[in-house]
Amino acid sequence: METSVIVRTKNEEKWIGAVLEVLGKQTYQNFETVIIDSGSTDRTLEIIKNFPVKLVQITQEEFSYPYALNVGCRASSAQKYFVIISAHAIPLNELFLEIGVKSFSDDNVAGAYGPIRTLADGSIWEKIYFNILCPFFELFTPERMIMKKSRMGVLGNTNSIIRRDLWEQYNFNEEYGLGGEDAEWASHCIKSGYVIIKNKKFIVQHSHSLSFMAFMKQWKYWASLTSPQKFQKIPFRNWKW
């Protein structure tokens, strides 16, 4: 198995079926899907039984963003790559995985990520930003942009793909209990001489139906993640970013 798709779930019945259906239709099929569930009480576990996935369960008390990812990566059979997507991030087309894997044509690429568009139930504020402003600014950037500096959003684990060998050398930092482990991992790789690729075609639909104030609060929070935080256990109603 060349690749594993790692998906973290907690009460994701609304979109997880659609995510797994699109994964099943990918042109690239040399992959497995590993789901790390943290105590779903809705129909999530019932839905995923209809798909060929590897299920790993952890408790609500064990959960943090990086811990769940590291558990999923350790349970993986993949030899080369980990694709990390949100349980409510639907690949935009059937070439998603093929595009992701092709990002590693150069040995100095540590990982790749791509843009986001909103789901059908995205708020007007999310749609303005992700469906209007982002595509406009993307007109002025190359299809594959080399990111040589780390900042908020670089290698965002809403939709990313990374090399297994580099993850084995440096796991996701579990001091980032509330998030930011993706940018921190990217920063470590860049400081080690690797690059991160932003590929405009490695794209998913993803949103949270946030109000304007909640949308601004979310961005302010992620922007604040510039240094490791102590591991913190958080209520599950708050972790779906």
CA 141, 147, 151, 152 torsion-angle sign? positive
What pLDDT does 133 receive?
Answer: 87
Hey, what are 56's tokens?
């790993």
- The domain locations on the chain are 3-238
The CATH architecture of the domain made up of 3-238 is Alpha-Beta Complex (3.90)
- Residues 101-112: what's their mean pLDDT? 93
More confident residue, 131 or 114: 114
- Residues 123-137: what's their mean pLDDT? 84
Give 163's strand partners. Answer: 81
What integer best gives the mean pLDDT of the chain? Answer: 86
What pLDDT does 138 receive?
Answer: 81
- Residues 169-196: what's their mean pLDDT? 90
Given a cut of 60, is residue 208 above it in pLDDT? yes
What pLDDT does 223 receive?
Answer: 61
Say how far residue 218 (Cα) sits from the centre of its chain.
Answer: 16
What pLDDT does 106 receive?
Answer: 87
- Name the range with the highest mean pLDDT among 32-36, 198-202, 205-209, 234-238: 32-36
What pLDDT does 122 receive?
Answer: 84
Given a cut of 60, is residue 225 above it in pLDDT? no
How many CB atoms lie under 10 A from the CB of residue 6?
26
More confident residue, 89 or 122: 89
